[in-house]
């Protein structure tokens, strides 16, 4: 996927989120009678802009598209003896707090509305999500294999939480990357307990255990001149079985290697038709591995579910609560050392995720927009100077102490907050780069 496409997808997603956030501040300021001097998408040098509306607000596009801001009259400095009625600090603390809260609140509202609309428009739900979590396949050398789990085991609990279906199991694995968790499972009518060390996030999920439901193989494309093409295999075919044995997507490559140059008999589903096709693997030039020349991905039957307005609203609220709980749980684990900061994603990773989501369709893209918007709304409420939450903390302390801090103290706190945010941004960018390198951080560190 081209870098330009990734940049486009990232800017599209981030543009929506930032504009909604700043629109929240802008609208609240205007409602409270505060004059807004600048509404900027991006930071740094002004590229273009135009003054519009009552009060002459300049709507501006700036050079660095990694955020945005609303500059209100009297926000950065003020003379208590010469406050104008339309300046930020001329308003009481309740009004100022309302203006600050509206930015994160709009991000959370955006996530809620997007999710509700997606649920009403219909979502593809893979049927196995609501099935009992009976393992169909365990990858070799995976955390699940190391823990002694096998195909046919039924997961009962993980990390002290009851697991009713595959969706519960996927959430539990995703919530515990780099953690050792207790696992309770059923084997041959006996309840067994073990411990499993969940690996760090992969390209597709936060945590990885290597245990899978019944995934079949969907052929994405067939290489011209390959054994698969000569045998008559086509894109969109589904492989159901190999040599009359049901086969999981994850074990197919291993079966191809084991067959060597002996023929494999595949049961193929093509639309409503079922076929039997014989294909013989071969070694590619200058390669040691056998192959049949297909690109494939896991496939599980799904059904499209539609929700009415009330059901979609309830489902959206439930999903927001789940994601918010997951977010705070992740930060809690990071603070106490149970989760590595290396699991954080920066702009490079987010650009990659956003471009992949956009390629998958508008539903996937806006689902990611909702998720990132919610995260930014929550993070903006953290009590870090330079974030909305930092300003709220200062106003709250002033209310408790019943006196205003000096502008010099406020500016010092905000400057410290900016330095902290810049350091965090540098870390997550380097972390994104490290994830793409073969030896991770060892490739970046000089010692």
User: Which residues are catalytic, by number?
Assistant: 22
- In 10 A of CB 395, how many CB atoms? 17
* Count of H-run helices and E-run strands, the chain: 11, 18
**CA dist., res. 231 & res. 278, Å (int):** 7
Helices (H), 336-444: 347-360, 362-379, 388-401, 407-436
If residue 297 lies in a helix (H) or strand (E), which one and from where to where? strand 294-299
Strands (E), 5-147: 36-52, 57-72, 123-126, 137-138
Length of the chain counted residue by residue: 447
Q: Measure CA 75 to chain center.
A: 34
Q: DSSP assignment of 347-362, as one string?
A: HHHHHHHHHHHHHH-H
Query: CA distances (Å), 52 to each of 34, 47, 59, in order?
Result: 15, 17, 7
**CA dist., res. 376 & res. 387, Å (int):** 11
Q: Measure CA 43 to chain center.
A: 25
């Amino acid at each position: 996927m081209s870098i330009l496409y990734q940049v486009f997808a990232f800017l599209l997603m981030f543009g929506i989120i930032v504009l909604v956030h700043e629109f929240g501040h802008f609208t609240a300021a205007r409602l409270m009678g505060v004059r807004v001097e600048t509404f900027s998408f991006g930071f740094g040098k002004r590229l273009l802009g135009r003054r519009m509306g009552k009060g002459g607000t300049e709507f501006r596009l700036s050079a660095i598209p990694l955020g945005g801001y609303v500059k209100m009259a009297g926000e950065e400095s003020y003379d208590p003896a010469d406050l104008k009625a339309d300046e930020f600090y001329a308003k009481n603390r309740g009004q100022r707090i309302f203006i600050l809260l509206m930015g994160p609140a709009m991000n959370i509202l955006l996530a809620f509305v997007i999710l509700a609309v997606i649920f009403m428009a219909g979502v593809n739900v893979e049927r196995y999500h609501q099935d009992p979590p009976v393992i169909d396949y365990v990858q070799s050398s995976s955390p699940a294999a190391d823990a002694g789990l096998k195909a046919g085991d039924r997961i009962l609990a993980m990390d002290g939480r009851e697991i009713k279906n595959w969706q519960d199991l996927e959430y539990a694995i995703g919530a515990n990357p780099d953690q050792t968790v207790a696992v309770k499972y059923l084997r041959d009518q006996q309840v067994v307990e073990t411990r499993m060390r969940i690996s760090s996030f992969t390209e597709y999920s936060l945590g990885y255990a290597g245990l899978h439901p019944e995934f079949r193989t969907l052929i994405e494309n067939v290489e011209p001149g390959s054994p698969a093409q000569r045998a008559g295999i086509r894109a969109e075919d589904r492989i159901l079985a190999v040599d009359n044995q049901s086969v999981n997507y994850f074990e197919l490559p291993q079966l191809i290697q084991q067959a060597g140059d002996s023929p494999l008999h595949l049961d193929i589903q093509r639309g409503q038709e079922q076929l039997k096709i014989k294909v013989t693997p071969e070694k590619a030039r200058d390669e040691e591995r056998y192959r049949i020349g297909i690109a494939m991905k896991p496939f599980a039957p799904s059904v499209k579910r539609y929700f009415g307005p009330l059901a979609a609203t309830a489902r959206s609220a439930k999903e927001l609560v789940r994601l918010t709980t997951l977010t705070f749980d992740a930060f809690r684990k990071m603070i106490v050392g149970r989760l590595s900061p290396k699991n954080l994603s920066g702009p490079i990773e987010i650009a990659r995720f956003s471009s992949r989501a956009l390629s998958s369709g508008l539903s996937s893209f806006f689902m990611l927009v909702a998720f990132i918007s919610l995260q930014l709304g929550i993070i903006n409420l953290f009590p870090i100077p330079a974030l909305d939450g930092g300003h709220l903390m200062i106003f709250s302390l002033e209310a408790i102490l019943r006196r205003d801090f000096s502008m010099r103290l406020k500016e010092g706190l905000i400057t410290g907050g900016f330095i902290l945010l810049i350091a965090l941004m540098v870390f997550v960018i380097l972390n994104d780069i490290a994830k793409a390198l073969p030896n991770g951080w060892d490739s970046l560190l000089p010692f």
